[in-house]
Amino acid sequence: MLTDSLERASSTTGRGTNDNGSWTAHTGSWGVEAGVAFLRGADDADNIATTDVEAQTQTFKARIGGFGQCGVVVRYQDPKNFVMLFRVNPFLVWNLVEVVDGNESLVTTVLDVNQHDVDVSLTASDHVIAASVGFTTVTVVRDTAPRGTRIGIVSRQGERTSECSWYDLSVEGSD
């Protein structure tokens, strides 16, 4: 299991390294400060940073703060193929979305009774995806889920850079 507390020298130009190697910014520019990852500069697309877990069964847990449309990503293959769970404001709802060949599909929603900081978890294994927000978990079967080996963090297109923060990251992977 990889745990990334993000407790390293502050950086406005990158996320640094962890037990699995480096974080990669696919879109947007990211930074770390005082144990918190943040979006430094937003692109016109969804802003995503990932690290490789080299496994098909993936669980990514994080505490997410802020009020923006931010979340976590699993099975990241490329910018057109991944699964994400993100907050939809101001509705106290999180969307579980599958992106396949660039086409985004809403899989389900998860209710969130928290107003600010919340623990989230997203697990993908074979054809099953489980999304947890706070104390609520939903599990769905999906035959079309992408098969990438990267996990990460996402800030949806159009979000300002100060809207979200990620901390206490934990990643589990197995085949």
Indicate if the pLDDT at residue 90 is higher than 70. no
Contact 115, 108 (CB under 8 A): no
- Residues 46, 68 contacting (CB under 8 angstroms): no
The 8-class DSSP code of residue 44 comes to: S
Q: What is the pLDDT of residue 45?
A: 80
Instruction: Measure Cα distances from 173 to 4, 17, 96, 158 in Å.
Output: 14, 18, 20, 31
Contact yes or no for 6/18 (Cβ under 8 A) = no
Residue 150 backbone dihedrals phi, psi, to 5 degrees: -105, 150
Q: What is the CATH number of the domain that holds 14?
A: 2.60.120.560
Inter-residue contact 132 to 114 (CB < 8 Å): no
Q: Are 81 and 97 in contact (CB under 8 A)?
A: no
Contact 96, 82 (CB under 8 A): no
76, pLDDT greater than 90 = yes
Q: How many domains does the chain have?
A: 1
**128 has which bridge partners?**
125, 141
What is the residue range of 49's domain?
Answer: 2-174
Which carries the bigger pLDDT value, residue 9 or residue 23?
23
Instruction: Let me know: does 70 contact 159? Beta carbons within 8 Å.
Output: yes
> Tens of pLDDT along 19-72?
445 788 898 888 888 878 888 887 778 899 998 888 888 999 999 988 888 999
